[in-house]
């Protein structure tokens, strides 16, 4: 099958440009490499052909295939050499003025029917193409680094982009072995927009003194199944890259509270502490290995007091069964005895609020996060309140660690850690669907492939329960009085009707 675009130009041959050129050639296109830096295009060509040599050595290419691929790649000296291209993809620095000037110059040399595309990750596609004579032939084509391994590309329609061009670019992405997702031209497109919930909410949690970086990472990996914790991920992507994206999306959305950046990352940028690449970030790195502090052991207690479980606890039957299996004596009265450890399991509320509203003895009240089925997690999370006695907190910790499962004890917080982060991720995703930035299906694909989440955010919301997500958000609003927890209409309506969050309206 012939390539959708026979001759493709790539302008800007850094890591992104080289990756795009590699997969375009592998899709069957003739690829021309161009960069304003002297010798950069030739160096990029050598780098790409070196990748193909290594693929041959690993048995992923034959010698004949490698030779054919190398013949499709050519370094050129100037924009005029790109005049015969069917498609030109720009991958230069993220500067609006530079990109606009480049595309103006390109439009002057290419054929009227040639397609132009920008790999921008943060700038408005409409703004870049606004001065073009043929903006309908211009679109966003956002790849992720490293391009050959990150199998998703965002196809972004500017205000005047022809739909047919987006469809051709999406089909071409498929030829390159990538899944194409189509997005409207909004700040962050799909992946960077949807990704605001994970790290940003985790930063708020640490900023409130609820838990430290390592504890938050452990909870979200062990309870919710994320491959990397938010602070491991920020260290990997580098804070000097991630923080400006946070600020950019926050400003472009006119200071929408959901996207508010954190002073924690701002301080690290100012200090030059970026993550793995500087040897220090949220963790220190020795020979590339994060130095993660050891977890404190579970306390040793002589006798666990009898346990009384609140009638309003989430997953109460499951919690009662768990407490019984761990060997505790369960009180079944309408109220706890004066010696009982009182367990609550709120969704969204903090332990303090539950103890006060239900008139429980706060000094003996401990909360447990029961959003997730206990059998499906590798960690339990407990929280006391400012009045909880040490002996009661330690008794609860010892009890829930009896079967060897890890236990984290955090400070009191509305929504614990997992509830807050998951509800924020789901709510932002639901709002993206409400705005029709993309289809629910494309959102799911983009997040799984672009962010590496264990499942798409809408599937996540369905798995934990849309009504549970709503309860968490409504109660977080009460606890914090912050509009960032305002539930999206998409989530409210589907939750009220018992529909999947992926349900599309006709």
Alpha carbons within 13 angstroms on the beta-carbon side of residue 253 total: 24
Region 152-160 average pLDDT: 97
Q: Are 381 and 421 in contact (CB under 8 A)?
A: no
Q: Environment class of residue 179 by beta-carbon count within 10 Å: exposed (0-12), middle (13-18) or buried (19+)? A: middle
User: Distance between CA 26 and CA 202 in Å, rounded?
Assistant: 40
- For 176, which DSSP code? T
Q: Are 41 and 31 in contact (CB under 8 A)?
A: no
Q: Could you confirm whether 145 is annotated as catalytic? A: no
Tens digit of each residue's pLDDT (9 = 90 or more) over 162-201: 999 999 999 999 999 999 999 999 999 999 999 999 999 9
63 pLDDT above the threshold of 70: yes
Q: Could you confirm whether 121 is annotated as catalytic? A: yes
31 pLDDT above the threshold of 80: yes
Q: Could you confirm whether 154 is annotated as catalytic? A: yes
pLDDT of residue 197: 94
Region 61-82 average pLDDT: 96
Tens digit of each residue's pLDDT (9 = 90 or more) over 288-306: 999 999 999 999 999 999 9
3 pLDDT above the threshold of 90: no
458 pLDDT above the threshold of 90: yes
pLDDT of residue 194: 96
Q: Could you confirm whether 505 is annotated as catalytic? A: no
Tens digit of each residue's pLDDT (9 = 90 or more) over 260-279: 999 999 999 999 999 999 99
Please tell me the class of the 193-291 domain. mainly alpha
Query: From the CB of residue 327, how many other CB atoms can be counted at a distance below 10 Å?
Result: 10
Cα–Cα distances in angstroms (integers) from residue 139 to residues 84, 171, 177, 222, 337, in the given order: 19, 14, 20, 40, 67
- pLDDT band for position 506 (cuts 50, 70, 90): low
Q: Check residue 415 and give left, alpha or beta (phi > 0: left; psi -120 to 50: alpha).
A: left
Q: Which of 29, 107, 119, 121 is catalytic?
A: 121
Tens digit of each residue's pLDDT (9 = 90 or more) over 384-397: 999 999 999 999 99
Tens digit of each residue's pLDDT (9 = 90 or more) over 405-425: 999 999 999 999 999 999 999
434 pLDDT above the threshold of 80: yes
Cα–Cα distances in angstroms (integers) from residue 197 to residues 238, 289, 354, 469, in the given order: 17, 26, 26, 14
What residues contact 404, with CB distance under 8 A and at least 6 apart? none
Q: Measured in whole angstroms, how far is the alpha carbon of residue 293 from the centre of its chain?
A: 25
pLDDT of residue 9: 98
Region 445-458 average pLDDT: 95
- pLDDT band for position 39 (cuts 50, 70, 90): very high
| Sequential DSSP letters for 138-152 | EEEEE--SSTTTS-E
Tens digit of each residue's pLDDT (9 = 90 or more) over 307-339: 999 999 999 999 999 999 999 999 999 999 999
Query: From the CB of residue 143, how many other CB atoms can be counted at a distance below 10 Å?
Result: 23
Strands 379-383 and 365-368: antiparallel
Q: Please work out, in degrees rounded to the nearest 5, the angle formed at the alpha carbon of residue 19 by the alpha carbons of 13 and 20.
A: 85
Q: Environment class of residue 437 by beta-carbon count within 10 Å: exposed (0-12), middle (13-18) or buried (19+)? A: buried
Nearest to 438 by CA among 166, 208, 43, 201: 166
Strands 307-309 and 341-344: parallel
400 pLDDT above the threshold of 80: yes
State the chain's mean pLDDT as an integer: 96
Domains 7-185 and 307-410 share a fold: yes
- pLDDT band for position 139 (cuts 50, 70, 90): very high
Number of residues that make up the chain: 506
1 pLDDT above the threshold of 70: no
Tens digit of each residue's pLDDT (9 = 90 or more) over 235-246: 999 999 999 989
Q: Which regions of 234-326 does DSSP assign to beta strands (E)?
A: 284-286, 289-291, 307-309
Looking at the domain 307-410, which fold is it?
Rossmann fold (3.40.50)
Q: Measured in whole angstroms, how far is the alpha carbon of residue 96 from the centre of its chain?
A: 25
Domain boundaries, the chain: 7-185, 193-291, 307-410
159 pLDDT above the threshold of 80: yes
User: Distance between CA 7 and CA 375 in Å, rounded?
Assistant: 54
User: Distance between CA 66 and CA 502 in Å, rounded?
Assistant: 43
pLDDT of residue 2: 80
Can you identify the CATH homologous superfamily of domain 7-185?
NAD(P)-binding Rossmann-like Domain (3.40.50.720)
Region 143-156 average pLDDT: 96
Q: Which of 154, 232, 444, 471 is catalytic?
A: 154
- pLDDT band for position 122 (cuts 50, 70, 90): confident
Buried b (16+ CB within 10 A) or exposed e, 227-258: ebbbbbbbbebbbbebbebbbbbbebbeebeb
369 pLDDT above the threshold of 90: yes
Q: Which of 29, 124, 192, 475 is catalytic?
A: 192
Tens digit of each residue's pLDDT (9 = 90 or more) over 346-367: 999 999 999 999 999 999 999 9
């Amino acid at each position: 099958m012939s390539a959708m675009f026979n001759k493709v130009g790539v302008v800007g041959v850094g890591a992104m440009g080289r990756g795009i050129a590699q997969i375009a050639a592998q899709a069957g296109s003739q690829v021309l490499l161009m960069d304003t830096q002297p010798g950069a295009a030739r160096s990029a060509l050598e780098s790409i052909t070196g990748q193909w040599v290594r693929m041959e050595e690993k048995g992923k290419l034959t010698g004949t295939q490698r030779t054919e691929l190398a013949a499709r790649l050519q370094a050129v000296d100037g924009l005029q050499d790109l005049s015969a291209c069917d498609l030109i993809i720009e991958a230069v620095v993220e500067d609006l003025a530079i990109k606009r000037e480049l595309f103006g110059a390109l439009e002057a040399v290419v054929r009227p029917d040639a397609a132009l595309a920008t790999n921008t990750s943060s700038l408005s596609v409409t703004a870049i193409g606004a001065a073009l004579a043929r903006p309908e032939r211009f679109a966003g084509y956002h790849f992720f680094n490293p391009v050959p391994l990150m199998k998703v590309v965002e196809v972004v329609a500017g205000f005047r982009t022809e739909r047919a061009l987006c469809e051709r670019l999406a089909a071409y992405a498929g030829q390159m072995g990538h899944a194409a997702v189509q997005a409207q031209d909004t700040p962050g497109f799909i992946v960077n927009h949807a990704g605001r919930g994970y790290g940003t909410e985790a930063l708020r949690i640490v900023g409130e003194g609820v838990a430290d970086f390592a504890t938050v990472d452990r909870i979200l990996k062990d309870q919710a199944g994320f491959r990397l914790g938010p602070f491991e991920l920020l260290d990997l992507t580098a804070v000097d890259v991630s923080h400006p994206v946070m600020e950019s999306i926050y400003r472009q959305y006119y200071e929408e509270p959901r996207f508010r950046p954190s002073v924690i990352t701002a301080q690290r940028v100012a200090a030059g502490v970026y993550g793995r690449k500087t040897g220090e970030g949220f963790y220190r790195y020795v020979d590339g290995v994060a130095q993660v502090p050891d977890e404190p052991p579970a306390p040793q207690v002589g006798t666990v007091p009898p346990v009384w479980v609140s009638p309003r606890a989430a997953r109460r039957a499951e919690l009662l069964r768990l407490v019984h299996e761990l060997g505790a004596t369960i009180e079944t009265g309408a109220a706890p005895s004066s010696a009982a450890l009182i367990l609550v399991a709120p969704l969204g509320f903090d332990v303090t609020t539950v103890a006060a509203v239900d008139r429980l003895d706060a000094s003996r009240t401990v909360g447990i996060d029961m959003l997730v089925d206990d059998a499906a997690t590798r960690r339990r999370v407990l929280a006391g309140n400012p009045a909880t006695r040490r002996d009661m907190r330690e008794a609860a910790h010892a009890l829930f660690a009896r079967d060897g499962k890890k236990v984290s004890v955090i400070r009191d917080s509305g929504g614990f850690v997992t509830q807050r982060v998951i509800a924020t991720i789901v709510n932002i995703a639901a709002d993206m669907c409400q705005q029709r930035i993309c289809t629910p299906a494309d959102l799911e694909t983009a997040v799984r492939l672009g962010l590496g989440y264990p499942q798409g955010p809408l599937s996540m919301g369905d798995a934990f329960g849309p009504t549970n997500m709503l309860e968490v958000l409504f109660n977080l609003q009460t606890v914090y009085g912050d509009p960032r927890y305002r539930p999206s209409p998409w989530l409210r309506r589907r939750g009220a009707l018992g529909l999947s969050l992926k349900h599309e309206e006709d």
